[in-house]
Structure 1
Amino acid sequence: MSFKNITVAGSGVLGYQIAFQTAFHGFNVTVYDINDEVLDKAKTKFDVLAAAFKRDLAATDGQLADTKTRLAYKSDLVEAVKDADLLIEAVPESPEIKIGFYEKLAKVAPEKTIFATNSSTLLPSQFAQSTGRPEKFLALHFANNIWINNTAEIMGHPGTDKEIFDDLVEFAKAIGMIALPLHKEQPGYILNSLLVPFLGAAINLLVTDVADVQTIDKTWMVATGAPVGPFAALDVVGITTAYNINKLAAEKTQDPLRLKALEYLKEHFIDKGKLGVSTGEGFYQYPNPAYKEKDFLK
């Protein structure tokens, strides 16, 4: 593995975490997003992340200062990828957006650049031809709160070069991840093959009026010993991501329950800008959600 310069495209829920984690482990990282205003917001989020790294990883002020010196910001795609050995794409979970991005990227990225998608549910084979370099394209998927939940799922498509796959496994380890190689394409990889049905079941219980948010979360937390329930998890994942995943499934199946869930998320959350932890409100209000109160489980 000879990676040195990494570009992360997208500074949303996971993009900015991937960028900071990678810079923290000594790589030069360029953060690309659609405009300077969005990038300025990312810089603010990096300050919050620095505090989390200090609290949870005992990172020193010196390490964090060095990390920030290795972060650059670009809203021009040509500039953002001109030196990239690896580009990690973390743009919204929409096939149209991703295909459009890869078609632009393919025209400007150096021949050496490997492309990796952080898509949580979509398959690399859906975008491989759009990349213009299918043999150098694969998936590298991270869990939220990357510095603590340090999983990295590596999944190729049938045309991915085996040597590049192995390089991505080594890169994942080099940035402090537990590398989890998948031997074949699987929608949702390992993590979301388990997580998405779980979160979907919780939404279905809510929209069919079986129980309210807190009762559903409380049930899961008490019965399994889990630190959070499904709706707290949805707030962390981001309700936009949950909406997009439900939208894809609803369009394919036209299942009435999925359509009802989609309508519920749109009306009560998306349209009101209540997108989870990132906006200060989702199913709970932040920074002090009800599920963290000492009497929540009573």
Structure 2
Amino acid sequence: MNYKNITVAGSGVLGSQIAFQTAYVGKFNVTIYDINDEALERAKERITNLKPYYKEDLGATDEDLNAAFDRLTFHSDLAKAVADADLVIEAIPEVVQIKTDFYTELGKMAPEKTVFATNSSTLLPSQFAEATGRPEKFLALHFANEIWKNNTAEVMKHPGTNDRFFDEVIDFAKAIGMVALPLHKEQPGYILNSLLVPFLEAGQGLLLNEVADPATIDKTWMIATGAPLGPFAILDVVGITTAYNIANAKAQAGDPHFVKLANLLKTEYIDKGKTGRAAGEGFYKYPNPAFAKADFLKG
């Protein structure tokens, strides 16, 4: 694995984390691509906000963190962003047409050497392999949120992925401090989201059906299982926009339950700017959410 130049396409919650973690280990030059300069400014702010977590969880110093930031470059011009990329990690919205259009454009602009990896949470690489123009160099590389701490990297091939590139991306994941988890067969949701998404959807279903409020649902799960977070606290970390995109895709497939859920998430949360922890409010208000308070589990 001779990767040196890494481009992360999409600078949202996870894209920013992937880019900063890759820069933090000190072995790679990292470029962040997004559609305009405004998005890139938000990315710089997101990355700056990651620094206290790296200090607390990894014992990082200011010198470490400033050096990592200095290894980042930012581009809203895709051709410049991928001009010498060895690996492009795509972390753009979970919308099939947006990803298809992106890969069609990327395939024309990236050098022949460049390997493409999707960080999609729920979509399969085979859905986009043809659009890339290089299906043998295309696969999935999926991270969990807060990747510096929850350091899983699910590496999933599709039937056309060449094993050489599968192995290279596994090596890359290890090189940025991840525990690489190879998946040899396509699975919607990989391992993590095959377990997590139904759990989160079950929690949202309880809210949608007015069984209980988010805090009560989270409290039940946390007390009964010893888990550190309930489904709505997790959704705030993931971002409610991602939950909406997943629900909306199922709604468009004709499921009436997800029509109602997508509408709830949009009207009661996203339209009101309550998109999750990164926005300061989602199902909880931050930086001091109710579930983190000492008396939350006491009744």
TM-score (norm 2): 0.98
Partner in structure 2 of residue 218 of structure 1: 219
Separation (CA, whole Å) in 2 of partners of 1:274 and 1:5: 35
Partner in structure 1 of residue 251 of structure 2: 250
Separation (CA, whole Å) in 1 of partners of 2:47 and 2:241: 21
Deviations along 1:203-230, one digit per CA (max 9) or x if unpaired, are 1111111111111000000000011110
Partner in structure 2 of residue 276 of structure 1: 276
Partner in structure 2 of residue 116 of structure 1: 117
- Preserved contact between residue 40 and residue 74 of structure 2 (Cα < 8 Å): yes
Partner in structure 1 of residue 240 of structure 2: 239
Gaps of 5+ in 1: none
Deviations along 1:178-225, one digit per CA (max 9) or x if unpaired, are 000001000000000000000000011111111111110000000000
Q: What displacement does 1:244 show? A: 0.6
Kindly provide the amino acid, as one letter, of the partner of residue 145 in structure 1.
E
Deviations along 1:257-294, one digit per CA (max 9) or x if unpaired, are 22221121111012212101111111111111111111
Partner in structure 1 of residue 61 of structure 2: 60
Deviations along 1:10-41, one digit per CA (max 9) or x if unpaired, are 10010000000001112100010111121112
Deviations along 1:64-97, one digit per CA (max 9) or x if unpaired, are 2221121111110010000100000000010011
Gaps of 5+ in 2: none
Partner SS, residue 187 of structure 1: coil
Partner in structure 2 of residue 290 of structure 1: 290
- Preserved contact between residue 153 and residue 179 of structure 2 (Cα < 8 Å): yes
- Preserved contact between residue 35 and residue 76 of structure 2 (Cα < 8 Å): yes
Partner SS, residue 176 of structure 1: coil
Kindly provide the amino acid, as one letter, of the partner of residue 197 in structure 1.
P
Are 2:178 and 1:197 aligned?
no
Q: What displacement does 1:62 show? A: 2.2
Kindly provide the amino acid, as one letter, of the partner of residue 20 in structure 1.
F
Cα RMSD of the aligned pairs, angstroms, is 0.9
Deviations along 1:140-182, one digit per CA (max 9) or x if unpaired, are 0000001000000000100000010000101000000000000
Partner in structure 1 of residue 44 of structure 2: 43
Partner SS, residue 272 of structure 2: coil
Separation (CA, whole Å) in 2 of partners of 1:240 and 1:31: 21
TM-score (norm 1): 0.98
Partner in structure 1 of residue 34 of structure 2: 33
What is the identity percentage for the equivalent residue pairs of Structure 1 and Structure 2? 67
- Preserved contact between residue 13 and residue 46 of structure 2 (Cα < 8 Å): no
Are 2:262 and 1:259 aligned?
no
